[in-house]
Amino acid sequence: MSEKNALATVDVGQLPVTQKGADEGFDEIAQGGDFLARLQLFSKGGAIDKGLIKPGRWGIPEGDDKITDLGDKIDCLVLARRAKALDMSDTDAIVVNYDMKSKEFQRIADASMGTDSGCMYGPSFLLIERSSGRFLEFFCGTKSTRSEAKKIYPMLPLTAGDIEARKLDAQPHGPQPFTMATKYVQRKRFSWFVPVVTKCSTPFRTIPDMPKIIKEIERFIDPPADGVEKVDEKEEGGKKRAR
């Protein structure tokens, strides 16, 4: 090989420190936005048609052409819950409502009973998923997920403030781990996958630190003051997203 075409090399032994700060910090700032990623059970649709993920798998949508595949069974810790109604009938102005007592929430809930309405409602959970270690939203907006969501309720943490506010006869406790698998359901005309929630006996050994957990919980349970959010701007990747 001629000197002109020789490969350039860097003498690592002469280099100074090349990074300031921990790896975790760089992972956090590279997430690209202030949006809470969502946990989704994939059954049918464009992502499956593109081969991005197989049916019956849990995944985290990362953009138009990327999904983090978590497998067909995952372990989670649930940190908080809120009510959520989602109207996607107009994709240029997606409406999100978090006030279950409001007329707007009830309008969306009523509309969701129609065919191809683009509307959903139900409980939404803030989770930590074991394998990714990430905070995720799991929205139980369909009939099959709403019924299974009730099994997650006992896994929620119960604080002294919760007990006082809800006038409960109970003792405080932390979040309990649970497992979500998938089940194939087939009817005469349709087939789909549904979540299956069971208790998990394996404790979480690693979770985000408490300041991060507190920050995420506060942001999750304190959505826009009027309870309605219209999303008019597309986030990176062309996906419309509302926190």
Predicted local distance difference test score (pLDDT) of residue 12: 77
Contact (CB, 8 A) for 139 and 122 = yes
In this predicted structure, the answer to whether residue 236 has a pLDDT above a threshold of 50 is no
Average pLDDT over residues 16-43: 76
What is the rounded average pLDDT of the residues 6-26?
Answer: 73
Cα(207)–Cα(186) distance, rounded to whole angstroms? 37
| pLDDT recorded at residue 162 | 94
pLDDT at 61: 95
Task: Say what the pLDDT of residue 74 is.
Answer: 98
What pLDDT, in 10s, does the model give residues 131-153? 999 999 999 999 989 999 999 99
| pLDDT category of residue 156 using cuts at 50, 70 and 90 | very high
> Quick one: average pLDDT of 103-128?
94
On whether the CB atoms of residues 179 and 155 are closer than 8 A, the answer is: no
* Token pair 């009830």 in the structure block, residue: 106
Averaged pLDDT score across all residues of the chain: 86
**What is the predicted pLDDT for the residue at 241?**
43
Residue 229: band (very low, low, confident or very high) from pLDDT cuts 50, 70, 90: low
Answer yes or no: is pLDDT of 25 > 70.
no
In this prediction, residue 29 has a pLDDT band, given cuts at 50, 70 and 90, of low
Give me the residues paired with residue 178 across strands. Answer: 76, 199
The domain ranges of the chain are 33-231
pLDDT of the residue at 230: 54
Q: What is this structure's pTM?
A: 0.81
Nearest to 96 by CA among 223, 5, 191, 233: 223
Does 91 or 169 have the greater pLDDT score?
Answer: 169
CA atoms in the 13 A half-sphere facing the CB of 146: 12
